Structure 1
Amino acid sequence: MKIKDKAANYKPAEDREKDLKLAIHRLQKGRAHTKEIKVSIAAVAREAGVSTALIHNHYPTVAEAIREIQGRSSRAMRDVKHQDLIAERQKSAGYRQEIEELRAKLASIASINEVLLEENRVLKAKLKDRSVVELVSSQPRR
């Protein structure tokens, strides 16, 4: 007998979708039976007497319509993320170019540094080759 009772709760998909759309409409007009104020998937589910999972899993168009009402459309969010991705890729390309320029400058500076180090070694070697003469003071020591 319980199986028959459960079967009585099942509605055709078209009827359930109609119930969900009516629930959305009631929420938008402020006439919800559940006294909900905001339109959300949870509020629509409570108003229609179903679970949120049912809306997510079996009525994605209804879920998308609710998100659009909330201003959180997955398409809009995807488009925003896509634009953000394009902007980040452009920044990344600029950074890669800057890195290449800095590497070239670093190589040039390293080359100049090696030349200066070699010149320094040569000059130090020349200083060692000269004989150093120590000057003696003419004043007597105390």
Structure 2
Amino acid sequence: MKVVFGNSEKLWNDAVSVRRAVFIEEQHVPEELEIDEFENEATHFVLYDGEKAVGAGRFRTIDSIGKIERICVLPDYRSRGAGRLIMESIEQFAKENGIAKTKLNAQTHAERFYEKLGYKTISGIFMDAGIPHVTMMKQLL
């Protein structure tokens, strides 16, 4: 499996196809919340198994902090290191661009996954798209 990142239309379409399957179809997040006004300013990351897009995420910089968003993996690829590959690629990209800290809003069921990657919870539980989340942060540099 290989992670590819950038801003091309093909990459965005592949990322959205995974996000649609996971967030919109599986988790019932409304499409208007999933596909938002930040798509064009984000760098998109897609995990491929051969030619098939199986995972995705995106990255933006807000006030010099890296914001990791929309991390998702197709069901057949979960618990196989796919999410870790995406996160490691995003963190490497952040470091190469001088970003010292990253943060993300994690669904509470995924909080332990992010803790294992070194993220610390910095908020209480809040609802986003009807799903409980927490904000988490990690010092990279």
TM-score by length of 2: 0.23
When Rg is computed on C-alpha atoms for both structures, the one with the higher figure is 1
Q: Which has the higher contact order (CA 8 A, sep 6+)?
A: 2
More strand by share: 2
Could you say which structure has the higher helix fraction? 1
